[in-house]
Amino acid sequence: MKLLYVTSTFLAVILLLTTSLVKAQNNDDVINILLKKHVISQQEADSLRADQAIKEQARRDKENQHGVTVGSKALQLSGLAQFRYQGFEQAGVNNSFDLHRIRLDVRGDVTNKWSYDIYSEYGGAGVKLIDAWISYKLDDYLKFTAGQFKIPFSLESLITDSQLEFIDRSQVVEALAARSKDIIGNQQGRDIGIQVSGSFVKLDEQYLFDYTFGIFNGAGYDVTADNNTDKDIAGRLSVHPIKNLTISADFYNGLAFYGTPAKNQKRNRSGIDARYTLGNLTLQTEYDKGTDGVIQRDGWFAQAAYFVIPKKLQLAVKYDTYDPTKTIKTDRTTIYYGGINYFFNNYTKFSIDYLDRKEETATQIKNNILEAQLQLTF
């Protein structure tokens, strides 16, 4: 009896696999045939159908987790909408609602080696091209990317906007990673160039090292031409000594055209960062320093985020300090953050942040900020 059961089960599995490979008919048809021919029992048929339903649902959830696939993986659409409110304590600054980020992403894998991405932003200034790149992946250890994309500098800058624990990025990142306070203006952390990247030394099904090295114009994103003949270089090396821990070091060296009068001046950066996740707790820290011409700047932050209710309610705190001019002793700003994130589902999040700002001056400015943001991704 046992031999008969084993044989029947073995034949059922072989038939299912064979049918799947040749795609002659769907799994439910196969189960019905096996049931009709008394190869499997009704109980076994129900069990197989239940297993298939679970696997199919898992497959659909995985495919739809980060976007909507149209036709095939060669065309995938995703988007981001963030509606924000800012309440300012500072006199003369108006509280306001704004469209923080409205974006549409079109990407795809043309083959298992060639892929592309076209990422656009919509707002009061019209349509702005954020990312536009083509990549070729030879293997895990070697990938080539050409076009417009994020420079490989600063962990917080590289984290996608929808995955940040706080509504806005830290001061030092905004100032030194080609963002809102950088000497070259807000470039969304991006530039035009080429880079190579990859992972190597695999231990226990996990790579020990990741690397990225790129050559860039240094003029920013969505521009028609470089503003000087020099090219900038950037690199980043990450190590994963244990599961869920990443420690990285990076640099950026180049010349930028700025100042009064405008001229080519040194624009160099370097930094280290780390991120560790343990269950519902995530810890992150980063230190960056930079030189613009003769001015030296630096700053760092440390933050912790914890899911009080897993996948639903997250509390976060951050210490953020930045010195825009090392030779001046009274211009450092320190911000203490408190944040709450509530996730309605995998696609919708509501966030509230409070920023307690402290300036290194004799008289403190009343300029604390309360922010709230509703985010929807698809």
Other C-beta atoms lying within 10 Å of the C-beta of residue 302: 16
CATH code of the domain made up of 65-377: 2.40.160.10
Q: Which of 304, 306, 314 is nearest to 284 (CA)?
A: 304
Q: Are 325 and 332 in contact (CB under 8 A)?
A: no
Q: Are 369 and 87 in contact (CB under 8 A)?
A: yes
Q: 99-117, pLDDT tens digit by residue? A: 999 999 999 999 999 999 9
**Res 10: pLDDT:** 41
Domain range annotation of the chain: 2-60, 65-377
d(CA 321, CA 301): 6
> Chain-wide mean pLDDT for the chain?
88
Angle between helices 2-22 and 27-36 (to 10 degrees): 150
Q: Which of 68, 32, 81 is nearest to 349 (CA)?
A: 81
Q: 262-310, pLDDT tens digit by residue? A: 889 999 999 999 999 999 999 999 999 999 999 999 999 999 999 999 9
pLDDT band (50, 70, 90) for residue 43: confident
d(CA 97, CA 325): 32
Residue 53 pLDDT exceeds 70: no
